[in-house]
Amino acid sequence: MGYKLAGYDVLGNVEIDPQMMALYKRNQNPRFSFQIPIQEFKEIPDDELPAELFDLDILDGSPPCSVFSIAGKREKKWGKEHHFREGQAKQKLDDLFFDFLDVVEKLRPRVVVAENVRGMIIGLAKGYVALVKRRFEQLGYRVQLFLLNSATMGVPQKRERIFFIAHRKDLQLPKLVLQFHERPVLYKEVRSGRGRPLDPNTLTYKRWLNRRPRDDSFGDITKRINGKVSNFNSILVKDDRVPNTIASNSCFIRYDEPYYISDMDIIRIQTFPRDYDFMGADVQYVCGMSVPPLMMKGIASAIYDQWLSIA
């Protein structure tokens, strides 16, 4: 959606998840879709693929990144097979970035964009980033790494993500400059309706009653009351703040009333279109696993202005 907002045509996609593929087809209507693991896609003979997929202006990918998230015991997950999502085949998630780079080698796009979590540039994961950069170089691409916050790009959300952005060396393009200074968009500007009410008989409700103006999450409440942090992924959403990252596994509860935020809040915070057809899928999951379209629009527009318009 972000690329379309920036004026691009989206030709196709590769997707392993049947539900996500159905959503993509319903809302994006791509010309070429492959509902297969990327490991299978990269083995398709070149002469069996549409000619339009070679020498693309941009090949974009977001290899699943949960093993690099700073939440949880991430290092213990490296090198092991996991179900990224229920119903999918087990895969080594930390290998998927290199499977994506194999597709780069196969299709030889002019520009490559790959998004991932901030955790990739923290601690031991920095070694993984070095390997990714080296692979880009071996493939004949000059790569830059950007840490961007969507709150500076017109998105009402403090979502930090890293972007590997590379171009083929034969294009001899200048360094890309990404600088965004949009004003912060506060929660009260997108707030709409109500989500579920908190159950007065639950511990969550009792903790909510003990909130203080300085508290940003239920972890702050439990630390003050119990002396240790728990329930940290339950976020207090305040009218005069930019909302936190919409994550698929977090709870977002309004500070000023005992209600979860609404689905329309989530859609607006993620800058999805109001008429997006979720086809019964969980709104928070779909939005939480996505790059905000306005964030991607800013990046895609800068790539066109600084690179593709002169290449």
Beta bridge partners of 111: 58, 167
- Residues that are catalytic: 65
Mean pLDDT, rounded, for 244-271:
97
**Would you place residue 120 in the very low, low, confident or very high pLDDT band (cuts 50, 70, 90)?**
confident
Return d(Cα 286, Cα 152) in angstroms, integer: 22
Q: Quick one: residue 11, left, alpha or beta (phi over 0 = left, psi -120 to 50 = alpha)?
A: alpha
Mean pLDDT, rounded, for 87-107:
79
Please give the sequence-ordered ranges of beta strands (E in DSSP) within 15-140, or none if there are none: 32-34, 58-61, 81-82, 91-92, 111-117
pLDDT tens digits, one per residue of 138-175: 999 999 999 999 999 999 999 999 999 999 999 999 99
pLDDT exceeds cutoff 60 at 84: no
pTM: 0.90
**What are the residues whose beta carbons fall under 8 Å from the beta carbon of 118, sequence distance 6 or more?**
70, 147, 160, 161, 162
Share of the chain above pLDDT 70, in %: 90
What Cα–Cα distance (Å) separates residue 197 from each residue in 9, 28, 56, 200, 218? 42, 34, 48, 9, 16
Domains within the chain, CATH numbers bracketed: 2-182+291-308 (3.40.50.150), 187-284 (no CATH)
Task: Classify residue 273 by burial, with Cβ atoms within 10 Å: 0-12, 13-18, 19+.
Answer: exposed
